[in-house]
A and B are shown apart, each in its own frame.
Chain A
């Protein structure tokens, strides 16, 4: 079975631009979570979606938004990019909502903002 997939793998954007990152969960998983990992730190939670509803939101500005589609895939959108948004963005899926159960991570999207 395929694991969690993310696209694109790498992305370079300019300050002020908008970006959309995509994630497909493991087949049968209904929960998708997004994390941001800056260099040298552990991943930080951004959002969790379960059954297409937002179930949790981390301490990130309103420039960050997300949604989950009927097929349980998800998009993370970031508006008005800042240099500090440069990071590895990780998507995780699980079969449960709350508690989440075991989380499985995708390979990540590496975003560079110049």
Chain B
């Protein structure tokens, strides 16, 4: 199956700092999503981005499918951005999302 590698595994920031999270994958994909998991376990959709660039407020994402990576940018981070960020991929064979191990982000006041 497809391999998904996220980096860094842990990230600690001061409020107001910017950050970049990376997701590398090993094969072609139909779909790539970024999620934020809050402390209660809810997975919140951030981006559906199989290719190209999208922006939503302080967050933006870029997927370069031909080079098999995606980046999530967080600008002017806030304490509420804390949590685990997951990249998840749907292989071309379909039927499932394969998740990375996540990046644990802590934003300190």
- Cross-chain contact B48 with A102 (CB below 8 angstroms): yes
- Cross-chain contact A48 with B100 (CB below 8 angstroms): no
Stretch in A13-21, A39-47, A68-76 touching the partner: A39-47
Secondary structure dominating the interface of B: strand
Residues in chain B near residue A108, CB distance under 8 A: 41-42
Residues in chain B near residue A48, CB distance under 8 A: 95-96
Q: Does B43 contact A (CB under 8 A)?
A: yes
Interface size on B, residues (CB 8 A): 23
- Cross-chain contact B100 with A105 (CB below 8 angstroms): no
Residues in chain A near residue B43, CB distance under 8 A: 43, 90, 105
Which of A33, A42, A110 contacts B41, CB < 8 Å? A110
Q: Does B15 contact A (CB under 8 A)?
A: no
The contact string, 1 if C-beta is below 8 Å from chain A, for chain B 68-109, is 000000000000000000101010101111111110000000
**A-B residue pairs, 5 tightest by C-beta:** A56-B95, A42-B99, A98-B94, A99-B30, A105-B43
Q: Which residues of B contact A (CB under 8 A)?
A: 30-31, 33, 35, 40-43, 45, 48, 86, 88, 90, 92, 94-102
6 contacts between A and B (CB under 8 A): A41-B101, A99-B30, A99-B92, A101-B48, A105-B43, A105-B45
